[in-house]
Structure formats: C-alpha cells, structure tokens
Amino acid sequence: MSQEALEEVLRKASSDAQFRNRLQTDLEGAVRGFDLSAQEKQQLRTGAGDRAVSVGAAPQRQAAAYAANAYAQNTVDAQNTVDAQNTVDAQNTVDAQNTVDAQNTVDAQNTVEAQNTVEAQNTVEAQNTVEAQSHPD
C-alpha cells in the first residue's frame, strides 16, 4: 500500500473537477497512473480513502467524490484561516503605522509650538531692548 499515492489521488480530486468526475465514472482508468493497491482502490470506491470522512454505505459512484470533497473543504478551511490571519496582521500593521503617523504629527506640532515660543520670546526680548534704548534713564 502507498499512503502517499492515495493522498495524491485525493489532492488531485480536490482541485480537478474532470479527475473527480472520472473517479466516479471510471475509477480504474482514473487511478491507472497511481501506484495504488487493490485495497486502496476499494477504499476509494467505498469512501474510506479519506480517513476523516465516514461515508458508510454511500453508493460507489459517490464515495470517491465524498472523500475528495472533504479533503477539498479541509484545504479551503486551512486557506481561510491563513487569509484571516493575514488580514489581522495587515490591520495591525496599519494600526501601528497610524500610531507612528499620529506621534509624528504630535511631534511636528510640538516642534512648531516650540519654534513659535522661541520666536515670541525673541520678539519680546527685541521689543524690550528697543524700549530700553529709546528711554534712557
């Protein structure tokens, strides 16, 4: 028995509708290029190819499709989990960037205010100097 060959058949069935249909209509022909034992072919006929799926007494033509569809759904679920995590990561990156941008805005505002304070102080000092020079004691 070759568990890898059986898994390869299930992977192909999960992504290839023509192959999946051929499994249902001509199982022997569909798996001819795969190194499957008679027992593994029987597992595909009865729906036991995917151990996570219990199809019981499903008709022979539907058994392979049930196993392949379950495998495909698990693949989609895993991809959706990855996509959701990437969305969270992207949002966290945006939030962090917005925090940096907000801090930079505050820093820039503080710099402007400090510059204005220095300029106002210099203006006051200059005015005091002018007044002192124009009013000798």
Confidence tier at 60 by pLDDT (50, 70, 90): very low
| Contact predicate 1/9, CB 8 Å | no
- Note the pLDDT of residue 118: 77
pLDDT digits (tens, 9 = 90+) for 86-99: 887 888 887 878 88
- What are 93-130's pLDDT values in tens digits? 878 788 878 888 878 888 878 788 878 788 878 888 77
> pLDDT at residue 32 above 70?
yes
Distance, CA of 105 to chain centre: 32
Give 11: exposed, middle or buried? Use CB within 10 Å, 0-12, 13-18, 19+: middle
pTM score over 0.75: no
